[in-house]
Structure 1
């Protein structure tokens, strides 16, 4: 297995009383998109029957290759898409029951999103203060104009940009990519959020400045009590910052558990494939991954069975006919695989 030689970031922070319900929870969350012209009737299964939770002051990483459905989940949680079926519960309350504009504004203020591209997420025609002040006016109407400016300076300083008064009056083109992404976090932080949906926030940044954004996420969790759903295809960064790791493939969660447990003892062949794809800087440069064979996932009107079976080295006959579901294979460690074996002393159970 490739050595992910990066130190796990500390998760210590202010303790809070554990409530009975998770901060956010999905139950059989599903989103399909119609593809083709006219009445072709073909459906792309972007997300199927996903069950995940994020607790208070927790960083959960959702990892997988492009097209696996990670960003679709983020947009479902943000309210950009409506589920085809299933439900999202926020602090124990179903989102489908939040019909008033006030309830929806409160939820979107509590669960904002930081986008992948720092170069297009800010309007180049306005100063960087515009988005922050607009968010404050929309979501925190109790503040006066002067208080909004004070709060804008506070959140800009909170994300490590100073002097805040100078940064506020700059245009996006006057900031680096890392600074723009910090402004994205500042806009989210202005809402006083409980959960930030971070959709690959460091993937378009230079490697040398990614660590600063990951440290920022950990610091915001510690100082402001914010939880994160961190969407990434970078296993090393997930290990560095996340408490729990969810692995997604072709619309399904195929493995989940504490980050170190998943990476040290992967149960699903796809997780093993992802770990094998992490480059080792000490190894000679090679082209291709000989361990990855077979066809891409079939997500347009997929048939029953494991969606990884076309690429899996451990495929058995059952994989072609029965869709595996997550089952407990260790302490908090689940995998959706017919051939995965439980840890010693752990009886396999269905959730």
Structure 2
């Protein structure tokens, strides 16, 4: 599978405090991630793990502290001019957790979609824009499209508003949609419908998706591959079924142990309950070490001194753990 987008050593730090108390928060550290054509990758982790910051780096909302993003083989740092940046943002749009963040309550639903078409597809005339707006609304499972477009956001349910968020993204003719916790604010009963919409978009529109979630069960349902984040680091990546059948990082195992699914593998580690209640990772001025060490029942002295790097443990399966995939100490 050819790579559509790659991140290489992608890092984002934020300065916190002022004067003598200024410190550095390591939100994302040295992340390598690849998303292929027509592939769905789930980025999984707890709140505060760096998932949304990584998505905003890919969307160019934040500038990286260091590292590189490559789109279709070309580094984004080489882009020059407003037109090139606009083309990229149209190809890689973002759908946010709160659908109201992308819908203006003062305007009808058609406003945002037609505005996206005007900005990113100026070759379309007025009639063609209206026709395309109706098409993308129907593509996300809302009909009759003309009636939906004429409504105000408050007249739609939460699930319908989130579908409109995806319709606005489709109006750009995207190659990759960044979906940041798109179902977390929806009732459980309607989440599966939106997950099905995302799966259908891959088939009907040929798009790839980066699905950001804290719910590994949803990732199992939707994704081809999973990348697990903890404390700003990617700690495990691999094909979804491989990771679910045989997780190699203790944090991944902890996430799976919390899934209320009889098909999920039994936790391999003792002390999961204690780990869940332990202190969060230190991401402000962290020292070289495994950031999961304070919660890990397998931690060794090496884990407290050296930051583990991703090492292969199977076909397409990598893990950053000194215990389950020992790497060279430094």
TM range (shorter): over 0.9
Deviations 1:244-280 (A, max 9, x none): 0000000000000000101110100000111112235
Alignment of 1:132-151 (within 5 A): 132-151=113-132
Match of 1:300 among 270, 284, 290: 284
Match of 1:320 in 2: 304
Which consecutive residues of structure 1, in runs of 5 or more, have no partner in the other structure?
Answer: 1-17, 283-287, 343-347
Counterparts of 2:68 and 2:223, CA distance in 1: 25
Which consecutive residues of structure 2, in runs of 5 or more, have no partner in the other structure?
Answer: 264-271
Match of 2:294 among 310, 316, 332: 310
Match of 1:279 among 249, 252, 260: 260
Counterparts of 1:68 and 1:291, CA distance in 2: 16
Match of 1:179 in 2: 160
Counterparts of 2:299 and 2:211, CA distance in 1: 30
Aligned residues: 321
Please say if 1:335 is aligned against 2:319.
yes
Is residue 62–residue 230 contact of structure 1 (8 Å, CA) maintained in 2? yes
Q: Structure 1 349/127 Cα, relative in aligned 2: closer, same or farther at 3 Å?
A: farther
Please say if 1:90 is aligned against 2:71.
yes
User: Does the residue aligned with 1:52 lie in a helix, a strand or coil?
Assistant: strand
User: Does the residue aligned with 1:87 lie in a helix, a strand or coil?
Assistant: strand
Match of 1:162 among 139, 143, 152: 143
Match of 2:8 among 27, 49, 52: 27
Choose 238-247 or 272-281, whichever is displaced more. 272-281
Deviations 1:172-214 (A, max 9, x none): 0000000000000000001110000000000000011001111
Instruction: Give the TM-score normalised by the residue count of structure 2.
Output: 0.94
Is residue 275–residue 295 contact of structure 2 (8 Å, CA) maintained in 1? no
Match of 2:92 in 1: 111
Counterparts of 2:256 and 2:5, CA distance in 1: 28
User: Does the residue aligned with 2:11 lie in a helix, a strand or coil?
Assistant: strand
Counterparts of 1:238 and 1:244, CA distance in 2: 9
Counterparts of 1:108 and 1:121, CA distance in 2: 15
Match of 1:14 in 2: none
Counterparts of 1:96 and 1:48, CA distance in 2: 18
Match of 2:268 in 1: none
Please say if 1:265 is aligned against 2:249.
no
Match of 2:182 among 198, 201, 220: 201
Shift of 1:88: 0.2
Counterparts of 1:302 and 1:251, CA distance in 2: 11
CA RMSD across the alignment: 1.8
User: Does the residue aligned with 2:194 lie in a helix, a strand or coil?
Assistant: helix
Instruction: Give the TM-score normalised by the residue count of structure 1.
Output: 0.88
Please say if 1:63 is aligned against 2:44.
yes
Shift of 1:281: 8.7
Shift of 1:63: 0.2
Please say if 1:289 is aligned against 2:273.
yes
Shift of 1:39: 4.8
Higher helix share: 2
Match of 1:221 in 2: 202
